[in-house]
């Protein structure tokens, strides 16, 4: 009986990933050279999932929105999502700004900007200058070629095209129903591929953690301990208080929700990328009783526009560099920084390291804090990346719940039942294809059942 229990426990994905993370840390610490060489394992897993993201996002949005009878409903859901995204990310930026000024993790480092070699961050600075301003950001949402957007995995252009096509199909009515049904079947096939890919998730987490610890060393945690502690504590406070209150207002428990997505949280911890778990999050949120149109529209868009963890990191990292270099920033300077971050924090679509590029873009536009100061974060950024990725994941899951509750379209009874038995749910590797039905009102009345 003991062996049966042990075998059943080890078969769970979150247990496998947790073991892989611990083994990765141990290998990276005691055999750093070997650990550094295992980076391709983590990269390969993320690449495997990213291969599926474009078609899954495309099919999820098109199927969800096209099956609404009233296109205005899709617009209303999208508007509510954007409003929530702006509110949550602004709050995250402000909280990060308050905490970093309160604890001053960079004070006492006394770094001379003249003695910093910025060659190691020149790539990030170059990417930051290529991002351009607000108008360039808006222009880049519209792809030069739809095929090119899919080939390059550009999330915002894919979302833009998917919404346009979905609206066109919704307006066309019954004549295009066979095409929508075909896309739905294609989507179920993609989820099947994801289930296969998740078998190697522990291997990806093992490689990612072994590389991180092997290259940067656990000693890095000690030298930047105050900054790391501040970021993790701030992220935890944001999740527990802000997101916890949001879930409570929706009539659901945040902690039960986090238990429900524990597999996704651990995979994100191991890979430092929320993209690796987007397909499973789509499935799990719909199983909670959230309509497919809401899940398909809000969650992928949130990956691009609602990076709460990245927002916290950006303010704390920017002020940390200024404190370390003894650069005095006035209250007005910090408010300007906050305003700039409202724009540069958008579009970091869940990719590991995207926040670093956004930070470079912020510093380059400020002309107050040298971009070369990013060197101070190079060795510790990977450890910080886990915190912001986990916060981003929980934030986008909660955002989907909030918008669904705002629309009065979530089946609360089903959501509570699913969260109450969350620990006993099938693992993502065994999860059945996402259900095609849509529950709740008023979206239930608008969804077409096939």
Split at pLDDT 50, 70, 90, the class of 439 is: very low
The answer to whether residue 443 scores a pLDDT higher than 80 is no
E strand or H helix that includes residue 441: none
Q: pLDDT grade, residue 122 (50/70/90)?
A: low
Question: Would residue 162 count as lying in a domain?
Answer: yes
- Which residue, 199, 290, 284, 261, is CA-closest to 423? 261
Residue 275's nearest CA partner among 143, 128, 380, 153 is 153
Residue closest to 277 by CA, chosen among 257, 262, 297: 262
Segment 387-407 mean pLDDT? 93
Whether 79 is in a domain gets the answer no
Judge whether 76 lies within some domain.
no
Q: How many domains does the chain have?
A: 1
Report which listed range, 101-105, 128-132, 240-244, 348-352, is most confident. Answer: 240-244
Question: 126 or 63, which is more confident?
Answer: 63
User: What pLDDT, on a 0 to 100 scale, did the predictor assign at position 126?
Assistant: 56
Cα 348–chain centre separation: 9
Number of helical (H) and strand (E) elements in the chain, helices listed first:
25, 0
442 cis-preceded (ω within 30 degrees of 0): yes
Range of the domain at 377: 2-69+85-446
For 50-100, the DSSP string reads HHHHHHHHHHHHHHHHHT-S-HHHHHHHHHHHHHHHHHHHHHHHHHHHHHH
Q: Kindly list the distances between the CA atom of residue 22 and the CA atoms of 18, 102, 244, 388, in Å, as whole numbers in the listed order.
A: 6, 33, 28, 20
CATH number, position 170: 1.10.3860.10
User: What gap in Å lies between CA 309 and CA 311, rounded to an integer?
Assistant: 5
Any domain includes 77: no
329 vs 369: CA distance, rounded Å: 9
Q: Is 78 inside a domain boundary?
A: no
Point out the least confidently predicted range of 136-140, 261-265, 345-349, 399-403.
345-349
Cβ contact 246:396 at 8 Å: no
Q: What is the mean pLDDT of residues 104-119?
A: 70
The reply to whether 313 falls in a domain is yes
Q: How confident is the model at residue 416 (pLDDT cuts 50, 70, 90)?
A: very high
E strands along 203-254, which residues?
A: none
Residue 11 lies inside a defined structural domain of this protein: yes
Task: Give the chain's mean pLDDT.
Answer: 80
Specify if 54 maps to a domain: yes
More confident residue, 158 or 343: 158
pLDDT tier at 95, thresholds 50, 70, 90: very high
């Amino acid at each position: 009986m003991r062996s049966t229990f042990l075998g059943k426990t080890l078969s769970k994905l979150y247990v496998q990933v947790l073991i892989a993370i611990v083994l990765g840390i141990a290998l990276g610490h005691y055999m750093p050279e070997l650990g550094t060489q295992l980076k391709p394992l983590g990269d390969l897993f993320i690449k495997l999932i990213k291969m599926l993201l474009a078609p899954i996002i495309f099919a999820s949005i098109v199927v969800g929105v096209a099956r609404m009878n009233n296109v205005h409903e899709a617009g209303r859901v999208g508007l509510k999502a954007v409003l929530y995204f702006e509110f949550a990310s602004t709050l995250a930026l402000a909280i990060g700004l308050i905490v970093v000024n309160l604890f001053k993790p960079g004070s006492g480092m006394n770094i001379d900007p003249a003695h910093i070699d910025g060659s190691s961050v020149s790539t990030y600075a170059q990417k930051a200058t290529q991002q351009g301003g607000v108008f360039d950001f808006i222009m880049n949402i519209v792809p030069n070629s739809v095929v090119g957007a899919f080939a390059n995995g550009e999330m915002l252009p894919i979302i833009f095209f998917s919404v346009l096509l979905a609206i066109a199909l919704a307006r066309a009515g019954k004549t295009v129903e066979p095409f929508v049904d075909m896309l739905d079947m294609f989507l179920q096939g993609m989820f099947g591929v994801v289930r296969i890919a998740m078998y190697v998730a522990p291997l990806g987490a093992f490689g990612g953690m072994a590389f991180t610890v092997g290259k940067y060393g656990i000693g890095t945690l000690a030298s930047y301990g105050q900054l790391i502690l501040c970021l993790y504590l701030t992220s935890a406070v944001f999740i527990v208080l802000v997101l916890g209150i949001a879930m409570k207002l929706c009539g659901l428990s945040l902690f039960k929700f986090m238990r429900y997505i524990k597999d996704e949280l651990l995979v994100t911890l191991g890979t430092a990328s929320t993209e690796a778990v987007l397909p499973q999050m789509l499935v799990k949120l719909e199983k909670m009783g959230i309509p497919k149109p809401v899940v398909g529209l809000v969650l992928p868009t949130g990956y691009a526009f609602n990076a709460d963890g990245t927002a916290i990191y950006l303010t704390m990292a920017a002020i940390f560099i200024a404190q370390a270099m003894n650069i005095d920033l006035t209250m007005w300077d910090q408010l300007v920084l906050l305003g700039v971050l409202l724009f540069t924090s958008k579009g970091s679509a869940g990719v590991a390291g995207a926040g670093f590029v956004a930070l470079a873009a912020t510093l380059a536009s400020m002309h107050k804090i040298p971009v070369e100061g990013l060197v101070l974060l190079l060795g510790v950024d990977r450890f910080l990346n886990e915190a912001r990725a986990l916060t981003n994941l929980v934030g986008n899951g909660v955002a989907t719940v909030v918008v669904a509750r705002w629309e009065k379209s979530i089946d609360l009874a089903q959501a509570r039942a699913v969260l109450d038995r969350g620990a006993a749910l099938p693992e993502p590797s065994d999860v059945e294809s996402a259900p095609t039905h849509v529950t709740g009102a008023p979206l239930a009345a608008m969804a077409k059942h096939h």
